[in-house]
Structure 1
Amino acid sequence: MLRILPSTKVLVTALVTGLTLGAAPALAQCGGSFSSFVGGLKEEARQRGHDAATVDRFFASVRQDQKTLNADRRQGVFQLDFTTFARRLISQNRINAGVANGKRYDSVFDRIEAQYGVDRGVLLAFWAFETDYGAFQGDFNTLNSLVTLSHDCRRPELFRPQVFSALELYEMGDFDPARTTGAWAGEIGMVQMLPGDIIENGVDGDGDGHVSLKTSAPDALMSGAKMLQHLGWRANEPWIQEIDVPAEMDWSKTGLRTTMSPAEWERMGVRPRAGQWFANLPASVIIPQGRKGPAFLAYPNFNVYFEWNQSFTYVLTAAYFATRLQGAPVFDAGNPDPGLSGEQMKTLQRRLVARGYDVGDVDGILGAKSREAVQAVQQELGLPADAWPTAALLNRL
C-alpha cells in the first residue's frame, strides 16, 4: 500500500460533516482514553439518527491498532527519486498482468470508456499499484484502522467522517466490523476506496445487487472510474506525454504552476519524444529529477491524480505506467545530477524554512511545497530553477 495520506476529498467530506452536525453537543475530536473516545463516537452516531442497538453492534469489536499508527509514520518509500521508484513498481510481470487483465475485462473497460471517458490504462495502473490486481488488498481491520487514526490527533478530520460512512455501509449489509480488511488508512477493495467514496461512487458493475470492491473486478473498476469522473477527470483527454527538453530554457517555467499550449512549449524548444502532441490543451512541463532527467508534459487530467493520492512521485509513476500499458515506450531516464538522501533533504528543508520558505512538513520527502521552495531559492541564488535539490544547492544554503 502506497498511500502518503488519504486524498483531499476526505477533507471536503469532513468539512461538510462538520456543517451538518449543527448545534449537537461538542464531542472529543481526538485523543484521551481510547474507550472514552469510542464512547464519543457512539454518542455522535446516535445523534446522527442511527439506531442505538445497531451502533453498539457496530462498535462492539473495535480495538486500537498500533500497527496502523506504525504504518502511518513509516512512509520512507516516498523519499525515492522518480526513476528509482518507477523501476521498483513497474515490473515486466505487472505489465504482462495489466495486458492480460485488459483483455480479460475488455467489455468492462469498453463500458467505462463509453460512460466515464477514463482510459483503461489509467485504471489498470491504479489496480496494479494499489493491490497487484487484487492479489493483496491489505490485512488491516478497516474499522480498527479508521477509529485508531481518528483517535490519533495527527489528522482526525480526515478519518473521523469515514467511521460514520463505514457505519452506513454496515447498515446496508456491505461492511463487517470484525472481518472487513484493507489498507492501513482505511481503504477497501481492489482499487482501495474509502467508505465515504464507496457510498458516493460505488457502482454495481456485475449486476448482482451489491457493490463488492473486494471480490468483483467489474464493481471495483467501474467504481474507480466513477470516482475519477467525480474528482474532475475530463473524458477522453490525455494525462501525460513524455517529452524532450532543450539543454537550456527558462527552467522557472517548469512545474505545475505554469501552463502553456504545446505550441508555446515547442517555441521554447520542447518536443514530444515520439510522434505528435496529444492535444491542444494547457499543459505543464514537469521534470521530476531536474533539467537533465526524464521530462513529461502534464495535461489537465494529470491534476486529478492528486485527488487520489498526494505523493508527487506516486502520481507521476501511476500516470506514466498508464501510458506504458497503452503502448508508450520506457521513459528516457537521462543523466540527472544525484539527488539528496532523506537526511540531507531534511537539512535542506530546515534551511529553506529558516529563509522563510514554506516546505510543508520537514520529512525528507520532496513534495509539492518543497519543490516550489527549491525552485524559488534557485531563482534567488541565480541557479537553474529546475526544482531539483542537489548537494551543491545544499552547500550554497
Structure 2
Amino acid sequence: MTRSTLRSVLSIGFLTLLTSTALAQQAATPAAPCGGDLATFLQGVKAEAIAKGIPAEAVDRALAGAEISEKVLSRDRAQGVFKQSFTEFSQRTVSKARLDIGAKKMKEYAAVFARAEKEFGVPAPVITAFWAMETDFGAVQGDFNTRNALVTLAHDCRRPEMFRPQLIAAIEMVQHGDLDPATTTGAWAGEIGQVQMLPKDIIAQGVDGDGDGHVNLKQSAPDAILTAAKFLKSLGFVAGQPWIQEVDLPENLPWEKTGLQDGMTAGDWFALGVKPRDGNTAFPQLASSLVIPQGRHGVAFLTYPNFNVYLEWNQSFIYTTSAAYFATRLAGAPPYDTHHPEPGLSDEDMKALQTKLQARGHDVGKIDGILGSGTRAALQKEQLRLGLPADGWATPTVLNAL
C-alpha cells in the first residue's frame, strides 16, 4: 500500500522491534543534498528554508548548536526485526492495564473525544488504541533530541530525500513556537509527542485542542487526540464503518482468497459460512479481507476499508492488526478466541523456507526470517501447488513438503 505520509513507524517503547517499510524504501523523488561538512550542509538547509518563506532568524535559532547524533545513526542501522506472532505481540500490548487506563482516558477526555468524532468521524477507541500503543498514553515518548535526529538523518545519505523535508518542517515549527530545538525530544527517527507524528504531519494535521494557540503533542492530550483524529481522517477513515471484526470459520474455505487482497465483500464471506462473533452482519456490501495471522486454525478477522488506514499509519501487519483489535476491545468486544493454531517455524526454519520459495522463483524480499506479505503470498501459491490449504501460514508441514 502506498503511504500518504513519510511517517516512521520505528518508534519507541514497544515499537522498537518493528521494521519500518517506509524508512526502508527509497522515495521516488530526486536525491536530496547530503553528507559532507556539517556546516556546509546546514547552510544549504538554511537557504532552502529561507526560500520556503521561513525567516532567517527562525532558521538560525533552529539550527544553532545542531550536531550529528551517533546514537541515532546506530539505532537506524540496527533496526530490529519483528518476529513475534500475532498472539504473542497482541497479548503483550493489549494488556488489562492498558485497557483499564484506556477506559479511564476515554472518560477523562470524553468531551475532547466527542469533538474528535463529530469533526473528523473517528471514534474514541480507535484514537485511544494508537495513543496506548505508540507511547503508553504519553508516558514513553523518547529521549532523542528531535532537531538533532532530523539533522542526522537528513545529513546521512541513506534516505535524505525523506528526512530533509522533515527537517525543514521542524524549522517551521520552531518559527511558530511549537518546537524548542534545544529541548524537544522524541523518537530516534524524528516523531514527536503522545501519538508520535513527524513534523510535516503535525504542521498539516495539527489541531490546537486546548486553545492555547499552539499544537503541543508532547504535553497536551487534547492536542494529541484531535490531531490524531484529523490525521486518521486524512488517511481515509470513514465515519460509521467498522475496521476489523473477529469471526469464526467453517472447515472449508477458499483459503487462497484469504489475506490482504481484493475481490471479496463481507457478504461474500458470510455466504461461505464465515460468522462474526458479535453477530453483526450489517455491512455486507463493504469490501472485506479475511485475515488469519496464524493460519486457518487460529484467530480470524474480517477487515474492512477502514483497516487500510491502520496500514497507512504503520505497515507492519502484526502491529496494525493488534492496534485494530485493541480498538475493538476498547469499544466493548471480548478477548479473541485463540483457537488452536499449528506451531510456526523457528527463525532458522523460516529463513530456510524463504530460501526455498526464492529458489522456486518467488519474490520474498530479504531472507530475514519474517513471515511478511511477500512470503505469505509466495507460500500460498506453493501450498496450492502442493495441494495443501493455502492459508499462508508457515508450518513444519509445508517446509517439509517443499
User: Does the pair score TM above 0.5?
Assistant: yes
| Residue 230 (structure 1) aligns with | 234
- C-alpha change, 1:180 and 1:300, in structure 2 (3 Å) is same
- C-alpha change, 1:177 and 1:384, in structure 2 (3 Å) is same
Contact 2:19 2:79 in 1 (8 A): no
Bigger drift between 200-209 and 144-153 goes to 144-153
For the residue of structure 1 that corresponds to 2:374, the secondary structure is: helix
Root-mean-square deviation (Å):
2.5
Distance 2:309 2:23 in 1: 11
TM-score, length basis structure 2: 0.89
* CA distances 1:205-260 after superposition (whole Å, capped 9, x unpaired): 11111111111111100000000000111112110000011122110010111342
Question: How many residues are paired up?
Answer: 387
Contact 2:206 2:215 in 1 (8 A): yes
Q: CA deviation at 1:132?
A: 0.6
Distance 1:27 1:273 in 2: 51
Distance 1:151 1:380 in 2: 48
Pairing partner for 1:98 from 102, 126, 145? 102
Distance 2:19 2:106 in 1: 28
- The answer to whether structure 1 residue 353 and structure 2 residue 358 are counterparts is yes
> Runs (4+) of structure 1 moved beyond 6 Å?
9-12
Give runs of aligned pairs for residues 1-397 of structure 1, distance below 5 A: 1=12, 2=15, 4=18, 28=33, 30-76=34-80, 78-280=82-284, 281-397=286-402
Q: CA deviation at 1:196?
A: 0.4
Fraction of identical pairs, as percent: 55
- C-alpha change, 1:216 and 1:377, in structure 2 (3 Å) is same
| Residue 23 (structure 1) aligns with | none
Question: Which residue identity is paired with 1:71?
Answer: R
- C-alpha change, 1:340 and 1:198, in structure 2 (3 Å) is same
Distance 1:270 1:342 in 2: 32
TM-score, length basis structure 1: 0.90
Bigger drift between 333-342 and 49-58 goes to 49-58
Question: Which residue identity is paired with 2:121?
Answer: G
For the residue of structure 1 that corresponds to 2:306, the secondary structure is: helix
For the residue of structure 1 that corresponds to 2:302, the secondary structure is: strand
Contact 1:7 1:307 in 2 (8 A): no
* CA distances 1:63-107 after superposition (whole Å, capped 9, x unpaired): 222322333344546210100001111111101000100100111
Distance 2:389 2:37 in 1: 52
Question: Which residue identity is paired with 2:117?
Answer: E
For the residue of structure 1 that corresponds to 2:82, the secondary structure is: helix
* CA distances 1:247-280 after superposition (whole Å, capped 9, x unpaired): 2211001011134222211221211123222522
Contact 1:11 1:157 in 2 (8 A): no
Structure 2: runs of 5+ lacking an equivalent: 1-11
Distance 1:105 1:200 in 2: 23
Distance 2:351 2:41 in 1: 34
